[in-house]
């Protein structure tokens, strides 16, 4: 393992429509986010062996994020799912 990141893994919700005031947007596009997870993915894309340690909710978004990390060749053995929590969503205003 070249390096391990620890911390947040979340869903950034971007407006599906551009040029509208945030309060008028009716649809959002989910994108994986969280600085430590982004660093793990970037390292893996550069050829490093990376791993991520963190916790998400035991929900659809948590499973989605795990799958994204795996597709990016990030080791997810340190990722935990919490039945009592929900995966964090961040609403992004553009």
Q: Are 9 and 82 in contact (CB under 8 A)?
A: no
pLDDT of residue 13: 95
pTM of the model: 0.91
Taking the CA of residue 40 as centre, how many other CA atoms within 13 Å lie in the half-sphere pointing to its CB? 31
Q: Tens of pLDDT along 39-90?
A: 999 999 999 999 999 999 999 999 999 999 999 999 999 999 999 999 999 9
Q: Give yes or no for residue 20 having a pLDDT over 90.
A: no
The whole-number pLDDT of residue 21 equals 85
Report residue 1's pLDDT band, with 50, 70 and 90 as the boundaries.
very high
Domains defined for the chain, CATH in brackets: 3-91 (3.40.1190.30)
Instruction: Find residue 74's DSSP bridge partners.
Output: 50
CA distance 11 to 90: 6
pLDDT of amino acid 86: 97
């Amino acid at each position: 393992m070249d390096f391990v990141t620890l911390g947040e893994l979340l869903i950034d919700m971007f407006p599906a429509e551009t040029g509208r005031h945030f309060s008028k947007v009716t649809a959002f596009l989910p994108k994986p986010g969280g600085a430590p997870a982004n660093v793990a993915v970037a390292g893996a894309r550069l050829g490093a062996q990376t791993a991520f340690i963190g916790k998400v909710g035991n929900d659809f978004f948590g499973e989605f994020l795990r799958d994204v990390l795996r597709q990016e060749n990030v080791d997810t053995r340190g990722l935990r799912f919490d039945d009592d929590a929900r995966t964090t969503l961040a609403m992004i205003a553009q």
